[in-house]
Structure 1
Amino acid sequence: MKKILTSLVVAGVLSGAFAHDFWVTGKNADKFGADIGYGHGFPMPEKIEDKRVGLFEPLYIVDKTGSKTVLKQVGENYHYEGEKLKKGSYVLAGDYKPTFWSKDKDGKWHQDGHKENVKNVESCGFYARTAKSIIVEGDQVEDFIYKPIGQITEIVPLSDVTKIKVNTPFKLQFFANGKPAKVAKVTGVIEGFPEGKYTFFGTTDLQGVIEVIAIKEGNWLFQAKHETAYADPKKCDKEELDASLVIKVNK
């Protein structure tokens, strides 16, 4: 098992994959409120550009039965709401629709662009991204949160999420297309850390597992990416599947 501990500031290690970080956070009150984070200032959300709002599916909640409850967009375009959650465990999830992005030789980026519909393509990528946050109400932790929920790519906690502490190892597993993603890059950042910099960097083992030691308490954003050649090289160059998971680390 690979264990990585770092207090170094790692800047821009995944800059190609994460031009914008993507995460989801939620809070249970009179209603359940959730936000899409799409930027660099985790955990604070910011308004999503109008031209990119359509890239995101509505946020949804998955419970222990596997039922999926879609939340309603309310107010700012990143905010969603639903009924107050009862005691139990839930996964708050979001999906960035699989999308082609291409850059032409003049340096211009084209959304939904690839080699067959854009002239003079210099590079092309097919991107799919997902985000998750584990919500536990009360002291009832269901085992389903330690397994994939069926997203195209996702990070799954393997350690008790209610007992993750500073300087205590815990494990995560990264899946892409339903299979463990081996030797994949993983970064972590604590809430409020300077934009574009990371406090953790490592790679998964051959089972897609990575062991982490968090150096500070608070909410952490972990991100991982799986990159392969695109199935049809005449259309695009690569496929990239990115996932994120928000976990709280206790003192």
Structure 2
Amino acid sequence: MQMLRNIMVGMIAFTLLAATCAQAHDMWLEKRGDKVFLLYGHPGDTDPYPLSRITSMTGITENQWNISLEPLEHKGEAFADLGDDFVMLAVEFDNKYWYNTDEDGWRNFNAPTEIRSTIIEEGRSYKLSKEILAWRPFLAEPVGQRAEIVPLKDPTKLKQGDKLPVMLFYEGKPMPADGARVSTTSDMNIEHPELAELKKSEAIEVTVGPPGRQIIIGKYEKKLDETRRVWFAFSLTFTTQ
């Protein structure tokens, strides 16, 4: 009986772990009046997070000038005051170092550390996001984030059901297809949108959701060797009428 109970507990723990990994948190920006807020979690379900992990918040002007924004914290949310006119906002977030072991599952540390159990996967994790406030032609090109989604035309003019072609870029070049995925809808009402694997380093079409705020989510896993990885989670948000 005790052995059966242990097996059942192990199965429940594995199921919870699998669900946690499958529903990894995303990050996006949301402008509210003269402030921009950084949200962490899923549309409609966000969580607090360490402010210290934000490595940069930037406003981009229509002259392509980058202005550093100071992240502040209020009731578990990070925000920045907007003291200028921007066409895009961007943020980068260091999600530190992760280990997936046969004994403890996924654990997060500030830096690589000694692990005694067998390591299945390990690596650095980064999160990045961009928010389009006003469309300008240069936004159809990378703006300098290490991993980013680039719309190939003005997404703010599209209607529900329209197709938006986007490209994924890594370090300013088309992202390798191996390990790259992107959501095929920008519908923010879908909490966990399906992510399609890239077949080639080419544009992919995203179906626009109902009028209002839209989000496109991307993932990229760069394999360094059999166990070491670098993970990127990145998003693009904009608003349609």
The match for 1:61 among 54, 59, 62 is 59
Asked if 1:118 corresponds to 2:115, the answer is yes
The match for 1:186 among 157, 182, 188 is 182
- Partners of 1:104 and 1:130 lie apart in 2 by 26
With 97-106 and 218-227 compared, the bigger mean Cα shift is at: 97-106
In the other structure, the counterpart of 2:79 is 80
- Partners of 1:221 and 1:135 lie apart in 2 by 13
In the other structure, the counterpart of 1:35 is 37
**What TM-score comes out, normalization by structure 1 length?**
0.74
Tell me: CA distance 1:79–1:149, structure 2 relative to 1, closer, same or farther (3 Å): same
In the other structure, the counterpart of 1:129 is 127
The sequence identity of aligned pairs, in percent, is 20
**What TM-score comes out, normalization by structure 2 length?**
0.77
- 1:4-51 deviation per Cα after TM superposition (whole angstroms, max 9, x unaligned): xxxxxxxxxx97475111111113x3xx211111112x1665432xxx
Structure that is richer in helix per residue = 2
Query: Does the CA-based 8 Å contact 1:172-1:210 persist in structure 2?
Result: yes
Q: Measure how far apart 1:223 and its partner are.
A: 0.9
Query: Does the CA-based 8 Å contact 2:211-2:239 persist in structure 1?
Result: yes
In the other structure, the counterpart of 1:90 is 87
- Partners of 1:135 and 1:67 lie apart in 2 by 15
Tell me: CA distance 1:55–1:176, structure 2 relative to 1, closer, same or farther (3 Å): same
Asked if 1:245 corresponds to 2:236, the answer is yes
- Partners of 1:209 and 1:33 lie apart in 2 by 32
- 1:59-107 deviation per Cα after TM superposition (whole angstroms, max 9, x unaligned): 2211233322222315334232324443xx5211110126321133321
- Partners of 1:110 and 1:17 lie apart in 2 by 16
Aligned residues: 218
Alignment of 1:154-173 (within 5 A): 154-173=148-167
Tell me: CA distance 1:104–1:126, structure 2 relative to 1, closer, same or farther (3 Å): same
The match for 1:228 among 216, 222, 228 is 222
RMSD: 2.8
Tell me: CA distance 1:79–1:228, structure 2 relative to 1, closer, same or farther (3 Å): closer
Q: Give, as a single letter, the amino acid of the residue that structure 2 aligns with 1:123.
A: E
Query: Does the CA-based 8 Å contact 1:173-1:210 persist in structure 2?
Result: yes
Q: Measure how far apart 1:135 and its partner are.
A: 0.7
- Specify which structure has the bigger relative contact order, considering alpha-carbon pairs within 8 angstroms and separated by 6 or more residues: 1
In the other structure, the counterpart of 2:7 is none
- Partners of 2:188 and 2:81 lie apart in 1 by 25
5+ residue gaps, structure 2, are: 1-18
- Partners of 1:70 and 1:224 lie apart in 2 by 24
Query: Does the CA-based 8 Å contact 1:104-1:119 persist in structure 2?
Result: no
Asked if 1:20 corresponds to 2:25, the answer is yes
Q: Give, as a single letter, the amino acid of the residue that structure 1 aligns with 2:237.
A: V
Q: Measure how far apart 1:218 and its partner are.
A: 2.4
In the other structure, the counterpart of 2:99 is 102
With 238-247 and 63-72 compared, the bigger mean Cα shift is at: 63-72
The match for 2:204 among 206, 210, 213 is 210
Tell me: CA distance 1:106–1:202, structure 2 relative to 1, closer, same or farther (3 Å): closer
Tell me: CA distance 1:80–1:58, structure 2 relative to 1, closer, same or farther (3 Å): farther
5+ residue gaps, structure 1, are: 1-13
- Partners of 1:110 and 1:15 lie apart in 2 by 13
